[in-house]
Structure 1
Amino acid sequence: MTGQDPFDFRADDLRYLVAVADSGRVVSAAKALGVDHSTVSRRLQALERSLGVRLLDRGPDGWNLTDKGQEVLEHARTVVKAMSTVAQVASGSGSTSLSGTVRVTAADGFGAVFVVPALARVREQHPSLNVELVTGARELTLRESSFDLAVTVGVPTTRLFNERLCEYDNAFFASDEYLARHGDPTSLAELSHHPLVFFVDAMERIHELDVAEHVPEPNVRFSSNNIFAMLEAVRLGVGVGLLSKFMAERVPGLRPVAAYVPPARVPVTLVARRESVRRREVLVVREALQQEVRDRRHELIWTRGTKDDASRTT
């Protein structure tokens, strides 16, 4: 792409680049900026012409930053933040409250139980900040521009910034009604004769969630990629499910089976795009997530003896 004078561009056009990078979509960016989507497209095209580089490419899930776009975005955020500060100072409305948008992706269950409370606390402290949560299992790629922070189960194979957020315990749970009708398996051999509720095969890439690691010849009869569907199936007595402690213990009438299963502690990783991790608003959300799991560690893992006590409860 042949450019004009690279210094002859409108700094305000950088706002449009930041908005599309945050949302991944021109229409969403237009809504956030209060303009028509054609205005966003026009301003981005003008910016690319002035700089002489391609900043965005269309992907299957929206617009993704090119490698050069990633480099430009980091500096664009600095410029846009400075423009916002100047406007606040000029208007006398300077404030320590944050603004902008932070998008988080997370697995369904962990997102609902731990990410939402953390984001709610951030919103209370910074009412001008927009937070978005997208849930569901997904692979992270180096070209991602649709999230700022991702909470992912397991250890991702990516060069994106990542750190261990927490761990959680799993166990085989069943409903009281199911155990009364079919018996409480006391060994893994017995458990292999019970119908199991488990994730679809695509989720078995996480070693700790591979049911075959625990039960010889597992008899999986109900599978789903959604933890809430699995919980409901176990609650209704469809079978025995390998479930996280923090999800299963929220459902009345579920308890661990009697069979001893070696601990299968699952790591949870916090992933961030490198150009996002230094943003103040992203740091605030990151700290809130870390605080949430620290304060509620007892919901994530069993202390010694508590799991066995729970399985004996009637």
Structure 2
Amino acid sequence: MHPHSPDESPAPRPAGSPRSIDPRRLRADDLRYLLAVSRTGRLVTAADALGVDHTTVSRRVAALEKSIGLRLIERGPDGWTLTEIGRAISDSARVIEEAIDRVVDTVEGQDSLSLHGTVRVSAPDGFGTAFATPALVRVRRHHPQLQVELITATRQLALRPSGFDLAVVIGVPAGSRLVTEHLTDYTLGLYACDDYLAKYGRPKSLAELREHPLIFYIESMLQVGDLDIERHLPGMTPAFSSTNVFAQLEATQQGAGIGVLPAFLTQRTQLRRLLPDEIDIRLPITLAVRREAVTHAAVRALWAALRQEVAERADELLLE
């Protein structure tokens, strides 16, 4: 359902004439609702973050659009995204939110550098659990007023990203709305449990590997080109597949076959590495931040924490 009702639709701008806006008609609080939608991409999620009903979010954004006379959000395949002018306004509105946070700090007598607000982070399930979570928790420990949301999914970023402030992705995403940084590389290899090897034997070559069931992602649902099994093991089709790397790990430990797994997830298991000289897959992990979120203090704090976590545990990611 579109959030704009007929009587609240923005008035069209006359062709060839600039729009004159009376600043007295703008409600600064409405900008907070626009900011919430820009971060979440969902009216209901934005409402939860603000502690209101989703119809209130819809109504307040529509009121802001009416005051400005321009459409600020639009429906996309992955939720609500901001229009070009909506992104510009949202970026400018962050100073209002930061000013409110400073007022709260002053009233509560807290450190003026304390971070507030909500930051949403997206990361692959394995890396998100093993590396992103400790980094985000460390920041939260120092900034208890900060709300951090972690979405774990192995996916590509949309060309018009929404629903996150900061994302960790496999590969190198494209998009003019993203500021990206190579975070690290990580290793994937072939692994099997002792019970499986005792029962079916250890493959000694790629030719012998084809006689064994493979465990990996569901090819038809995989959205990350760098993880395409055909690229790394041509001609092989997984016998057990899952969209969740922890399910793949568990299936490998249960003896369902040979898993193609990140090395950092196998270090606390009894799994055996197979054919390390023939199969040593190395993929890049990229940190991506929406341009309008780059200057946000909380986003930058989480960004730095992720860098630190990876730097301190680099040996786990590139296990030989």
TM (norm. structure 2) is 0.87
Give the match for residue 51 of structure 1: 68
The alignment status of 1:154 with 2:157, answered yes or no, reads no
The alignment status of 1:203 with 2:211, answered yes or no, reads no
Structure 1 residue matching 2:208: 3-state secondary structure? helix
Residues 218/36 of structure 1: CA separation in 2 closer, same or farther (3 Å cut) = closer
The alignment status of 1:96 with 2:113, answered yes or no, reads yes
The alignment status of 1:5 with 2:21, answered yes or no, reads yes
Give the match for residue 296 of structure 1: 313
Identity of aligned residues (%): 48
Structure 2 residue matching 1:35: 3-state secondary structure? coil
Structure 1 residue matching 2:134: 3-state secondary structure? helix
Shift of 1:248: 2.1
Shift of 1:192: 1.7
Give the match for residue 191 of structure 1: 209
Aligned to 1:82, which of 99, 102, 116? 99
Residues 93/48 of structure 1: CA separation in 2 closer, same or farther (3 Å cut) = same
Deviates most, 83-92 or 99-108: 83-92
Structure 2 residue matching 1:12: 3-state secondary structure? helix
The alignment status of 1:234 with 2:252, answered yes or no, reads yes
Shift of 1:244: 0.8
- Deviation string 1:87-133 (CA, Å, 9 cap, x unpaired) is 54466555321000100011111111111111110110110000001
Alignment of 1:1-314 (within 5 A): 1-2=10-11, 5-7=21-23, 8-86=25-103, 88-89=105-106, 92-93=109-110, 95-159=112-176, 160-201=178-219, 202-203=221-222, 205-207=224-226, 209-215=227-233, 217-218=235-236, 220-250=238-268, 252-258=269-275, 260-302=277-319, 307=320
Shift of 1:299: 0.9
Q: How many residues get paired?
A: 301
Shift of 1:249: 2.1
Task: Extract unaligned runs of 5+ from structure 2.
Answer: 1-9, 12-18
Task: Extract unaligned runs of 5+ from structure 1.
Answer: 308-314
- RMSD, aligned CA: 2.1
Paired residues of 1:192 and 1:215 also in contact (CA < 8 A): no
